[in-house]
Amino acid sequence: MKATQLLHNLGQSIWLDNITRDLLDSGILKRYIEELSVTGLTSNPTIFDHAIKNGGAYDAAIRDKLGRAKSAETLFFELALDDIARAAALFRPVHDQTDRVDGWVSLEVSPLLAHDTSKTLTAAKDLYTRAVQPNVFIKIPGTKEGLPAIEEAIFAGIPINVTLLFSREQYLAAANAFLRGIERRIDAGLKPAVGSVASLFISRWDVAVMGKVPDSLRDQLGIAVAKRTYRAYRTLLDSPRWQRAFNAGARPQRLLWASTGTKDPKASDILYVKALAAPFTVNTMPDATLKALADHGEIGAILPADGGDCEEVLAQVGKAGIDIDALATQLQDEGAKSFVQSWNDLMAVITAKSAALKRAAAQ
């Protein structure tokens, strides 16, 4: 049995951190679903950037939409929503079979709105309406400005993937924003079953401290932060506040492991997957990590609900001179800036591709 199936049987959802038109047209995504136990996916601007820049899969669609799209951003969302809708249709059977627990696909609002609560909420509502399919998450960053938008979006009934979380504290802030939205729906007599995941980024921790900690702690920080956050997640699920909401018909916000592709060439290609095997969580991984997992015959031990040795590891990292809280803030800030840079790169690629196709059509 493939390790992907073993992980699925354990109760962890495997999502693909990728979506392109080639992936859809070639049938590869369908094969991942059928053969590698993939039950959802996430997308980001960098993925679309590379796909549009390095191939011709989107050329015909761009030519068709050029006359109607008023900007590169408008054109992008039309292209992306086409892909998201097709992917959502492929995952719809999983979504229905699991009664809306799984089978989700994610599309993010423009990262240029990351510090504007009102515009983020407006964009989230617009994208979810245009996506049509019910199994679409709208990604909103769990920044200080994003948290009110997350609460309002949940209250409005919009399924949300909270992204750019790096620590237990950032996760708890996002979880509380989700729960406030749910509690407001309950108080208003609305159905409280609004889907959500909270995405904790893992590998960027280890990249940030590479060469700054002893070899004994190499590639251990991201896992330790994840374990600490998992303990907080399990504690929240058991809390009277959450259980009151669940008793009223709410669905738990699942914890999602993001950025789980191994960046260290000296480490296992499934380092973070094997270390973070846990039921009722999601692991979203790039194609290479997914295929590597499928080639392995086993998975790791189940993540301990109490966080295992996380505090010991974090204490050792602290002794090495790393301020965990400050680094978490830095990573979130850098992540937001990186998303903006990727977005700007994507807009430039779409503008250049559009101009090239116009010139070719005029010849």
Per 3-state DSSP, what percentage of the chain is helix, strand, and coil (rounded to 5)?
Answer: 60, 10, 30
* Architecture of the 3-362 domain: Alpha-Beta Barrel (3.20)
| DSSP string of 253-313, one letter each residue | -EEEEE--S---TTS-TTHHHHHT--TTEEEEE-HHHHHHHHHSS---PPPPTT-TTHHHH
Phi and psi of 234, rounded to 5°? -65, -35
Backbone Cα Rg of the chain = 20
Non-local CB neighbours of 90 within 8 Å, separated by 6+ positions:
24, 29, 30, 33
What the block records as the tokens of 237 is 């699920």
Per-domain boundaries in the chain: 3-362
Of 139, 227, 274, 353, which one is the catalytic site residue?
139
The pLDDT profile of the chain, 363 residues, written as one tens digit per residue, is 899 999 999 999 999 999 999 999 999 999 999 999 999 999 988 888 888 988 899 999 999 888 787 799 999 999 999 999 999 999 999 999 999 999 999 999 999 998 888 999 999 999 999 999 999 999 999 999 999 999 999 999 999 999 999 999 999 999 999 999 999 999 999 999 999 999 999 999 999 999 999 999 999 999 999 999 999 999 999 999 999 999 999 999 999 999 999 999 999 999 999 999 999 999 999 999 999 999 987 888 999 999 999 999 999 999 999 999 999 999 999 999 999 999 999 999 999 999 998 888 887
Report residue 240 as tokens: 């009277």
How many angstroms separate the Cα of 345 from the Cα of each of 56, 161, 197, 350? 18, 23, 27, 9
The predicted pLDDT at position 358 comes to 86
pTM, two decimals, is 0.96
Distances (CA, A) of 257 to 138, 285, 319: 17, 9, 26
Q: CA angle 94-18-129, nearest 5°?
A: 60
User: Of 252, 225, 187, 247, which is closest to residue 317 (Cα–Cα)?
Assistant: 225
Cα 294 to Cα 287: distance, rounded to the nearest angstrom: 11
> Which whole-number Å values give the CA distances from 61 to 79, 137, 168, in the listed order?
7, 24, 42
CA distances from 338 to 97, 164, 191 (A): 36, 11, 36
- Check: CB of residue 76 under 8 Å from CB of residue 347: yes
Quick check: 287 and 36 in contact, CB under 8 A?
A: no
Question: Burial level of 301, CB count in 10 A (0-12/13-18/19+)?
Answer: exposed
> What DSSP designation does 71 have?
S
139 catalytic, yes or no?
A: yes
